[in-house]
Structures are given as C-alpha cells and as structure tokens.
Structure 1
Amino acid sequence: MSSAKPSKDAATATSSSPAKGDLSWIETNTKPLIIVLVEKMEGMAFLSFQVQNGPYKTWRTKNGASYTFKGPFVTGTKALGADLVSASVPASIQSSGSHRRTHYYLDGDDQVAPLQAECSWTFVGAETTQILNKSYATKHYKESCVAGEIGFKNDYWLDSSGITRQSRQFVSETVGYVSLLVILE
C-alpha cells in the first residue's frame, strides 16, 4: 500500500482545478470548514459541520458524503464506496508509543467485519504547513499501522493551539487515503 507523504501545501495542488473560482469566498468565511481531497478519486470537496454527538462530529459535503471524526481521527464515512462504518481510535496523537486501532467495514454479506491494526507513533518534526493563503507552524506526527497483509500510515500536522491543521488518513483499501485541510474549526 502506498504511503507517500502528502504535500505540505496540498490545497495549492487544486489551484488549476475548476473549483479555483469557488475559493474566493473562503477569505470571508466564518463557519467551520474543512477541505477534503480523496486521493484515488482525485476529487476535492468542502466539508461543513453538521452535528455533534458526544465526542463525535459529523461533517458533510454538498453532495451528501459525510465524514465523522473523534478529535482529529476519521471514525466513519458515508457515500465514498467502501466506507468506514466506524473505528476505535487512539485518545490523542502521541509523539511515540504503540496502540491498537480497529476499523469496521461491511463485508459482502452486509455483516460488520473488523480490521484490527497494531500501530505506532513517530514524531517527524516541526514543519510549516501551507493551507490556501495561510502558513501554520506545525508539528508533524506519523501513525504507522499493520493489520495482517494491510499496512497504512496516517499523518497529522498540529499547530501550536492543538488544532490538526492537516491530516492524511486511511479510509479503506478501495477508497484509499483522504487528505483533510482545516480552514476553520
């Protein structure tokens, strides 16, 4: 499975896309907003906050795809294809150590099937993260996971206030990775 590092300025990669004309309103936006890039589908969308249920927050795109988060971690998706039904995730991002993560998917019989992964944390270092026209001083952390034949690596860039400004997270083998860029939380 590919574990290529996402661009520190992944949002600028969309500058030649048709959505470029839509980005001017972001400068004056005051509502919570996340940009999501689905790598395998080469698609970009804006996520707007919909609802919070305890520690879980659900964000939706204009066309109805949704992402559920617990803190910075994606714990569920809908309308992407091989969706992540739910996930048990770490309590927080760490600079080192190990933990177990479990992803739940629907199998061919519409039964929930777990994928248990053994994961470890690594602090990569301090980096400047560019999102649209803004730069953020961030700390980059990598979560490396192995579940049998499947391996994946998630990346998180936290700013000084603790906001995960950018992340690249594994959803499923079919969907692959999503990159998330927090404009306003």
Structure 2
Amino acid sequence: MCLCSLLLAACSLGNDKSNDFGAGMVSAVKSSVAARRTAPAPNVAIELTRAQLNGITEPLIRTKTEKTGQISLLYIAQRNGKAQVWFAPDRVSFTLRAGLIVQTKGLGDDIYATDAPVVSALLEGRGGTGTGRRIIRRLDGANAQNAHEFDCTLTDRGPETVTVLGTAFAARHYVEACNYAELSFANDYWIDGTGVLRASRQWIGEDYGTLFMERLID
C-alpha cells in the first residue's frame, strides 16, 4: 500500500466524530512526510523517522504484528477512564490500560477482555514481579464468551537500553511467561525511567502471535 492511500484511509475516519482527532494527527504526519520526501514510501509507519514527527505533540504508537508483518501507526480515538482506545488506519483498534492490551477489535479472533492483575499492578506503578493468572476472554460466533486462564510468572530482567525511532531510553525489562494446556507465550515490557511503557511485545492470539508496540510520542 502506498503512502498516500494509507494515510487517506486513515483520514477518512474523520467522518466519525470520535475519530476527528486521530485523523488530524495522521494528516499532520502526512504533511510532515510529504515535506521531506520526493517520492511516496511503501508505508509511512515503516519509513517514519524521528525528524518527521517534529511539531506533532499528540500520543502516537507504532506497532508490528509478528505473523503478518503489518506495521501501523496508532492514535488515541477515545479515552474511557484509565483505558485508551487506539485506532489504526485499517480500523483495527486496541484498548490499552497503562499500555496493557485489554481488548482488540477488527482482527477477527478478537480479545473481548483481559484480566492480568500482576502485570496491571506493575504497569500502573502499584506492584512488582510475581506469579498470577492471566484470563483472556474472546467471543465466539454466537457471541458467547470463551475464557482461557493462563498461569503466568512475571520476572525482572534488569536495566536495558531500548531504542525507539532513533532515541535511546534507559528502561527496565520485564518478562511475563504464561502457559495454558499446550499453549505458551512470553510477553516483554520495557518501562522507562518516567514509568512509561516505552516498548512491549504482547501476545494477542494464535492467528497473529505477538504485537510489538513502540511509544513514539507520550
């Protein structure tokens, strides 16, 4: 998909008032990129540089899906208390709470709700490492909830430097190892010195694997 079609798709979301803010942000990215490039890039999210974000102050996340390789920019479309709903140009959305993915929409095999108290406490500054359950609920074709309960252990891997779009951040790396029956996965969280989840790898399902997220603008 070319740069123009990607961004125009995002801007078309402006017909929904809840997406006006995000469409304006994406439009700003389009203008910034266009001013610095003479030819369209294959995907603005891939080619984006820190300099191209100059003047953009609204929150922005870049994601990459493990199994599909899809790279997208996410902007905040709604705020519901501690939760934020982030939209991608293809209308896929992720609800985050302190950076934790608690719901997805538009993927197909979507997460309806996530309960991960140990990780939530860490990301919200209320706790540390330990063991606990992660419950992921999904909706089947009949809109019935299917819940999977994972046994998880959250460990502290110590300080690491994480580089996001050319900027190095001093962070602390945490790993959450989970298993349920024959299914297992590991999530990674890099929390910087200000308490922001600067980068993470979070498992979203067998169809997509993990979602790598980088917080470009706070």
Q: In which range does the TM-score fall when normalised by the shorter chain? A: 0.7 to 0.9
Q: Which runs of 5+ in 1 are unaligned?
A: 1-15
Deviation, 1:150, is: 1.2
How many pairs are equivalent?
Answer: 170
| Residue correspondence of structure 1 range 1-185 to structure 2 within 5 A | 18-19=43-44, 20-23=46-49, 25-90=52-117, 91-93=120-122, 95-185=128-218
Contact 1:58/1:68 (8 A) holds in 2: yes
Deviation, 1:83, is: 1.3
TM-score (norm 2): 0.73
Amino acid at match of 1:82: D
Q: Which runs of 5+ in 2 are unaligned?
A: 1-40
RMSD over equivalenced CA pairs, Å: 1.8
Deviation, 1:28, is: 2.9
Residues of 1 paired with 2:130 and 2:70: CA distance? 34
- Relative to its length, the structure with more helix (as a share) is 2
TM-score (norm 1): 0.85
Give the number of the structure whose alpha-carbon radius of gyration is greater.
Answer: 2
- Relative to its length, the structure with more strand (as a share) is 1
Amino acid at match of 1:110: N
Of residues 131-140 and 22-31 in structure 1, the stretch that sits farther from structure 2 once superposed is 22-31
Higher relative contact order (CA 8 A, sep 6+): 1
CA deviations over 1:71-92 (Å, ceiling 9, x no partner): 1210011112211111112232
State the identity as a percent: 29
Deviation, 1:27, is: 3.2
TM-aligned CA distance change 1:70 to 1:18, over 3 Å: closer
Deviation, 1:95, is: 4.5
